[in-house]
Amino acid sequence: MIEREFIIRNKVGLHARPASLFVQTAKKFKSKITIRKEENEVNAKSIIGVLSLGAEKGDRVVIKIEGEDEREALKEIEELFNTNFGEDNEDN
Protein backbone atom coordinates (compact mmCIF):
# COMPACT_ATOMS: atom_id res chain seq x y z
CA MET A 1 0.00 0.00 0.00
CA ILE A 2 1.19 3.48 -0.90
CA GLU A 3 -0.12 6.68 0.67
CA ARG A 4 0.91 10.12 -0.57
CA GLU A 5 -0.23 13.65 0.28
CA PHE A 6 -0.69 16.24 -2.44
CA ILE A 7 -1.55 19.94 -2.38
CA ILE A 8 -4.00 21.03 -5.03
CA ARG A 9 -2.42 23.90 -6.95
CA ASN A 10 -4.64 24.40 -9.99
CA LYS A 11 -7.08 27.33 -9.93
CA VAL A 12 -10.37 25.43 -9.84
CA GLY A 13 -9.35 22.54 -7.60
CA LEU A 14 -10.80 19.10 -8.27
CA HIS A 15 -13.89 20.29 -10.09
CA ALA A 16 -15.35 19.24 -13.45
CA ARG A 17 -12.47 18.71 -15.91
CA PRO A 18 -9.64 18.09 -13.40
CA ALA A 19 -11.82 15.67 -11.42
CA SER A 20 -12.75 13.86 -14.62
CA LEU A 21 -9.08 13.52 -15.58
CA PHE A 22 -8.26 12.23 -12.11
CA VAL A 23 -11.06 9.63 -12.19
CA GLN A 24 -10.17 8.51 -15.74
CA THR A 25 -6.57 8.02 -14.65
CA ALA A 26 -7.56 6.07 -11.53
CA LYS A 27 -9.88 3.80 -13.55
CA LYS A 28 -6.97 2.65 -15.72
CA PHE A 29 -5.57 0.63 -12.83
CA LYS A 30 -6.66 -2.53 -11.04
CA SER A 31 -5.50 -1.22 -7.66
CA LYS A 32 -7.96 0.14 -5.12
CA ILE A 33 -7.46 3.91 -5.06
CA THR A 34 -9.01 6.31 -2.58
CA ILE A 35 -8.70 10.05 -2.08
CA ARG A 36 -9.18 11.73 1.30
CA LYS A 37 -9.70 15.34 2.24
CA GLU A 38 -9.78 15.88 5.98
CA GLU A 39 -12.02 13.10 7.37
CA ASN A 40 -13.82 12.38 4.08
CA GLU A 41 -12.44 9.46 2.04
CA VAL A 42 -13.97 8.38 -1.27
CA ASN A 43 -13.33 5.97 -4.12
CA ALA A 44 -11.02 7.75 -6.59
CA LYS A 45 -12.77 5.95 -9.45
CA SER A 46 -16.09 7.67 -8.69
CA ILE A 47 -16.64 11.12 -10.24
CA ILE A 48 -19.48 11.82 -7.79
CA GLY A 49 -17.27 10.84 -4.86
CA VAL A 50 -14.35 12.98 -6.00
CA LEU A 51 -16.58 15.99 -6.67
CA SER A 52 -18.25 15.55 -3.27
CA LEU A 53 -14.93 16.29 -1.54
CA GLY A 54 -15.13 19.92 -2.67
CA ALA A 55 -11.33 19.98 -2.95
CA GLU A 56 -10.16 23.49 -3.83
CA LYS A 57 -6.87 25.20 -4.58
CA GLY A 58 -4.58 24.94 -1.56
CA ASP A 59 -6.35 21.93 -0.04
CA ARG A 60 -4.34 18.89 0.99
CA VAL A 61 -5.55 15.49 -0.14
CA VAL A 62 -4.19 12.03 0.59
CA ILE A 63 -4.17 9.39 -2.11
CA LYS A 64 -4.07 5.77 -0.98
CA ILE A 65 -3.33 3.05 -3.51
CA GLU A 66 -3.32 -0.67 -2.84
CA GLY A 67 -2.84 -3.40 -5.44
CA GLU A 68 -0.64 -5.01 -8.02
CA ASP A 69 -0.13 -1.89 -10.14
CA GLU A 70 0.04 0.65 -7.30
CA ARG A 71 3.44 2.08 -8.29
CA GLU A 72 2.35 2.72 -11.87
CA ALA A 73 -0.88 4.29 -10.63
CA LEU A 74 1.00 6.58 -8.25
CA LYS A 75 3.34 7.67 -11.03
CA GLU A 76 0.45 8.76 -13.28
CA ILE A 77 -1.49 10.41 -10.45
CA GLU A 78 1.63 12.31 -9.34
CA GLU A 79 2.03 13.55 -12.90
CA LEU A 80 -1.52 14.96 -12.85
CA PHE A 81 -0.85 16.89 -9.65
CA ASN A 82 2.63 18.02 -10.78
CA THR A 83 1.24 19.43 -14.04
CA ASN A 84 -1.80 21.07 -12.38
CA PHE A 85 -4.08 18.76 -14.35
CA GLY A 86 -2.89 20.39 -17.57
CA GLU A 87 -4.06 23.85 -16.57
CA ASP A 88 -2.11 27.09 -16.66
CA ASN A 89 -1.78 28.15 -13.08
CA GLU A 90 -1.09 31.80 -12.47
CA ASP A 91 -1.23 33.04 -8.91
CA ASN A 92 -4.56 34.81 -9.44
Residue type, 55: A
Closest CA to 82 of 20, 22, 28, 42: 22
Catalytic residue among 9, 11, 15, 64, which?
15
Maximal CA-CA distance, the chain: 40
Whether residue 77 contacts residue 29, with contact meaning beta carbons closer than 8 Å, is answered with: no
Could you confirm whether 78 is annotated as catalytic? no
Whether residue 30 contacts residue 69, with contact meaning beta carbons closer than 8 Å, is answered with: yes
Active site residues: 15
